[in-house]
């Protein structure tokens, strides 16, 4: 297609909005208040993007810059347009603020907090600048969603299926490349793990390609998608062209990942060290270049499918701008500013009262424990009616003159009251939204190698790649043997895996069955079971139970929250040998509580008032024992010996809540 001549953007013939000093002051205050209102989520996302174990979402730090670049790219159109505030923006603005408060408590979901912030921003822009401006700004606003970390429970389901597809395609590609006589490389896939077979030192060897990939999924899938959408929104492409490019982001991400794994397979054949460590990370980042080139190539092709007439483009642009002529000049009048401030503040106060009263009906202990529910419901109805009146009042103000100044002042009132109200609610509940880390009392490696009849056979240390997936360096992975049983007897060997997490912004633990299935095994069953600890030296106290730990030279008592709790039993087997199944029993210790599943850790593991937080995964694998009841009995026998030692390493939650641990704590949480 021939190059299009540059098209000048006509200046509207009608009066253009003149921003007065008072309006600029309101705009600056609005921006500051918006950041203050959502600062807890913004800081949490900063931690996720910059944390050592947060590499999967490190692209989030550049997403706001790309959104600003979108604005700069469209600056000529934006500066030529006039403001026409829209009262309809109140709905998403208030809904976003209310949703944000809800997902702080009782929802407790970081992902929906982020989406609530974006919804509020969308409503704010709509209310201040109007519908015409929103049609040009919705892409930069919604693009910010790529900076919001998707919940691991959702993201893993998406990336996991794509990981399986990528592993199968990569195996096919490696076999094609490996047919070169000088390489002599053959690949087979089991789950998402690729096994490479090749000649080394005169003999055939079979090795797994980067075992960490079994748990990683498409680690950079979100970054690839963000890159693809950014390229799709470049320039002035048609909507159908952008849609096609967005739909192609996932296939291109899978294709690029296939190329990455293929390169790693060849490098592993040459030298296994080249497919691990810094080289492995560098190759992953390097794949962004071919991904970008593919996105640009797709865009180049789409732009040349249909040739447009330049004159028609000029006429359409002129028509678009002419419809914006003659908008309200939005002169800032002090009376309108004052009315907007009062209306916005009163309306948000009614919204906050409605939310607080409705929440108190569900949780009377938080606010009004001694007040009759009927009275609280009556107060909720009154505050809801006040909210409706406030919305009607603001809509009438915006329908009069000086709508621009009124809209800015109203948003200042809304955000100001929302900031004060949310902070007051958080302070009233004594909630701690970002928890502080609490260190282990003792390193997990101090757990004895000999405990009763159980003796350590192997102490496994993980590579850097696996630690990136485990996301902690505080772990223990050992194999113990029951010396009182015959060595070949099923159940005489157990595999203990303990991983400790604290100070992490994400509170959803890694589930162990993901690794088993990724390694080519299949799930036979998964259910919740009951564990009961019975040891001679365990006794019940007023606050729970105590047991004896032998971490140091002298035995000492450690607290146990209970001697009976729920755990998850996962039964698995090789696809060709389903009759020879094995079991793994796992649970979590979170802030002194025993919990069976990751979802319970997120929902029940942490109290809003806890200043500190930690969770610890305890996993006991019983290879060769397919009967779940038998596996539970073996796990109980083993845990009777090891659980007091684990609790001796973990923080004593009574000491934490009473301010005695960590040692540098100056006051009780």
Instruction: Flag whether pLDDT at 19 surpasses 70.
Output: no
Classify residue 612 by its DSSP letter. B
* Inter-axis angle of helices 288-303 and 221-232, nearest 10: 30
Among 52-61, 261-270, 542-551, the range scoring the smallest mean pLDDT is 52-61
Q: Name which residue leads in pLDDT, 217 or 287.
A: 287
Beta-carbon count within 10 A of 451 CB? 17
Three-class DSSP category at 498: strand
d(CA 625, CA 492): 10
Going by their DSSP bridges, the two strands 577-590 and 564-574 should be labelled as antiparallel
Q: Name which residue leads in pLDDT, 377 or 501.
A: 501
* Per-residue model confidence (pLDDT) at position 4: 44
d(CA 612, CA 27): 38
Among 67-71, 288-292, 378-382, 544-548, the range scoring the smallest mean pLDDT is 378-382
Beta-carbon count within 10 A of 355 CB? 20
Beta-carbon count within 10 A of 282 CB? 10
Average pLDDT over all residues of the chain: 81
How many residues are present in the chain? 669
Report the predicted TM-score, pTM, of the whole model to 2 decimal places. 0.81
d(CA 631, CA 416): 58
Instruction: Flag whether pLDDT at 326 surpasses 60.
Output: no
* Per-residue model confidence (pLDDT) at position 54: 52
Give the model's confidence band at 325: pLDDT under 50 very low, under 70 low, under 90 confident, else very high. Answer: very low
Residues 6 or more apart whose CB falls under 8 angstroms from that of 327 comprise 14, 15, 17, 82, 83, 84, 130
* Inter-axis angle of helices 63-73 and 221-232, nearest 10: 0
Beta-carbon count within 10 A of 422 CB? 20
d(CA 626, CA 578): 9
pLDDT, one tens digit per residue, over 157-210 is: 777 777 778 888 888 888 888 888 777 888 888 777 788 888 877 778 887 775
Highest mean pLDDT pick, 78-87, 459-468, 505-514, 538-547: 538-547
d(CA 638, CA 631): 11
* Inter-axis angle of helices 403-428 and 334-362, nearest 10: 30
For every residue of 294-353, DSSP letters joined together read HHHHHHHHHHTTSPPPHHHHHHHHHHHHHTTTT-------HHHHHHHHHHHHHHHHHHHH
Burial of 93 (0-12, 13-18, 19+ CB in 10 A): buried
Q: Give the tokens for residue 567.
A: 């755990």
Report the greatest alpha carbon distance in the chain: 94
Give the model's confidence band at 629: pLDDT under 50 very low, under 70 low, under 90 confident, else very high. Answer: very high
Among 457, 645, 489, 522, CA closest to 192: 522
Burial of 268 (0-12, 13-18, 19+ CB in 10 A): buried
Taking residues 260-279, report their average pLDDT.
Answer: 76
Contact between residue 396 and residue 340 where contact means Cβ atoms under 8 Å apart: no
Within 13 Å of residue 2, how many CA atoms lie on the same side as its CB?
6
Q: Give the tokens for residue 55.
A: 């590499």
Classify residue 2 by its DSSP letter. P
CA 199 to chain centre: 43
Give the model's confidence band at 296: pLDDT under 50 very low, under 70 low, under 90 confident, else very high. Answer: confident
Contact between residue 113 and residue 102 where contact means Cβ atoms under 8 Å apart: no
Instruction: Flag whether pLDDT at 441 surpasses 50.
Output: yes
Q: Give the tokens for residue 65.
A: 């810059």
pLDDT, one tens digit per residue, over 584-615 is: 999 999 999 999 998 888 878 888 888 899 99
Sheet containing 193-200: give its strands across.
186-190, 193-200, 203-208
Three-class DSSP category at 130: coil
d(CA 176, CA 193): 18
pLDDT, one tens digit per residue, over 398-409 is: 776 557 778 888
pLDDT, one tens digit per residue, over 470-511 is: 788 899 999 999 999 888 888 899 999 999 999 776 656 567
pLDDT, one tens digit per residue, over 194-250 is: 888 888 777 788 877 754 444 554 567 788 888 888 988 887 788 888 888 888 888
Beta-carbon count within 10 A of 283 CB? 17
* Per-residue model confidence (pLDDT) at position 56: 66
- Which helix (H) or strand (E) segment is 647 a member of? helix 628-649
């Amino acid at each position: 297609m021939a190059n299009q001549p540059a098209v000048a953007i006509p200046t509207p013939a009608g009066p253009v909005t003149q921003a007065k000093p008072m309006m600029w002051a309101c705009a600056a205050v609005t921006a500051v208040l918006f950041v203050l209102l959502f600062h807890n989520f913004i800081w949490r996302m900063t931690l996720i993007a910059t944390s050592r174990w947060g590499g999967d979402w490190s692209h989030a730090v550049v997403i706001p810059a790309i959104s600003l670049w979108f604005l700069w790219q469209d600056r000529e159109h934006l500066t030529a347009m006039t403001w026409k505030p829209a009262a309809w923006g109140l709905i998403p603005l208030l809904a976003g603020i209310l949703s944000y408060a809800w997902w702080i408590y009782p929802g407790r979901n970081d992902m929906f907090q982020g989406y609530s912030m974006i919804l509020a921003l969308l409503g704010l822009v709509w209310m201040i600048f109007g519908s015409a401006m929103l049609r040009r700004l919705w892409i930069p606003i919604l693009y910010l969603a790529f900076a919001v970390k998707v919940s691991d429970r959702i993201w893993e389901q998406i990336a996991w299926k794509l990981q399986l597809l990528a592993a199968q395609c990569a195996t096919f590609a490696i076999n094609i490349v490996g047919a070169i006589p000088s390489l002599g490389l053959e690949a087979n896939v089991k789950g998402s793990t690729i096994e490479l077979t090749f000649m080394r030192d005169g003999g055939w060897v079979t090795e797994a390609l980067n075992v960490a990939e079994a748990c990683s999924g498409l680690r950079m899938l979100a970054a690839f998608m963000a890159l693809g959408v950014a390229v799709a929104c470049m320039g002035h492409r048609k909507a159908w062209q952008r849609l096609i490019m967005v739909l192609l982001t996932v296939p291109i991400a899978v294709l690029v990942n296939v190329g990455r794994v293929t390169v790693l397979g060849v490098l592993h054949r040459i030298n296994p060290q080249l497919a691990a460590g810094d080289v492995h990370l560098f190759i992953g980042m390097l794949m962004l270049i071919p991904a970008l080139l593919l996105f640009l190539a797709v865009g180049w092709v789409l732009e040349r499918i249909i040739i447009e007439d330049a004159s028609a483009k000029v006429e359409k642009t002129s028509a678009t701008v002419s419809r914006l002529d003659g908008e309200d000049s939005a002169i800032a009048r002090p009376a309108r500013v004052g009315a907007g401030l009062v209306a916005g503040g009163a309306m948000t106060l009614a919204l906050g009262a409605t939310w607080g009263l409705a929440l108190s009906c569900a949780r009377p202990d938080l606010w009004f424990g001694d007040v009759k529910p009927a009275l609280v419901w009556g107060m909720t109805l009154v505050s809801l009616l006040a909210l409706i009146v406030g919305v009607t009042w603001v809509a009438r103000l915006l329908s009069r003159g000086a709508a621009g100044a009124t809209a800015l002042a109203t948003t200042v009132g809304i955000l100001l009251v929302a900031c004060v109200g949310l902070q007051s609610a958080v302070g009233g509940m004594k909630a701690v939204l970002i928890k502080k880390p609490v260190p282990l009392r003792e390193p997990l490696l101090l757990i004895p190698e000999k405990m009763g009849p159980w003796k350590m056979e192997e102490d496994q240390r993980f590579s850097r790649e696996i630690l990136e997936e485990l996301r902690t360096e505080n772990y223990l992975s050992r194999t113990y043997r029951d010396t009182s049983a015959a060595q070949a007897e099923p159940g005489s060997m157990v595999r203990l895996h303990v991983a400790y997490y604290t100070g992490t912004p994400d509170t959803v633990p890694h589930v162990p069955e993901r690794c088993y299935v990724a390694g080519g095994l299949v799930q036979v069953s998964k259910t919740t079971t009951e564990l009961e600890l019975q040891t001679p030296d365990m006794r019940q106290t007023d606050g729970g139970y105590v047991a004896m730990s032998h971490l140091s030279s002298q035995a000492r008592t450690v607290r146990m929250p209970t001697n009976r709790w729920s755990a998850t039993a996962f039964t698995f087997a090789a696809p060709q040998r389903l009759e020879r199944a094995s079991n793994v029993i796992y649970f979590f210790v979170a802030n002194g509580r025993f919990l069976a599943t990751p979802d319970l850790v997120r929902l029940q593991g942490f109290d809003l008032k806890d200043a500190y937080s930690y969770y610890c995964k305890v996993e006991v694998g019983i290879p060769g024992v397919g009967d779940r009841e038998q596996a539970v009995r073996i796990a109980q026998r083993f845990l009777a010996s090891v659980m007091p030692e684990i609790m001796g390493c973990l923080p004593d939650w009574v000491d934490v809540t009473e301010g005695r641990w960590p040692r540098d704590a100056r006051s009780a949480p």
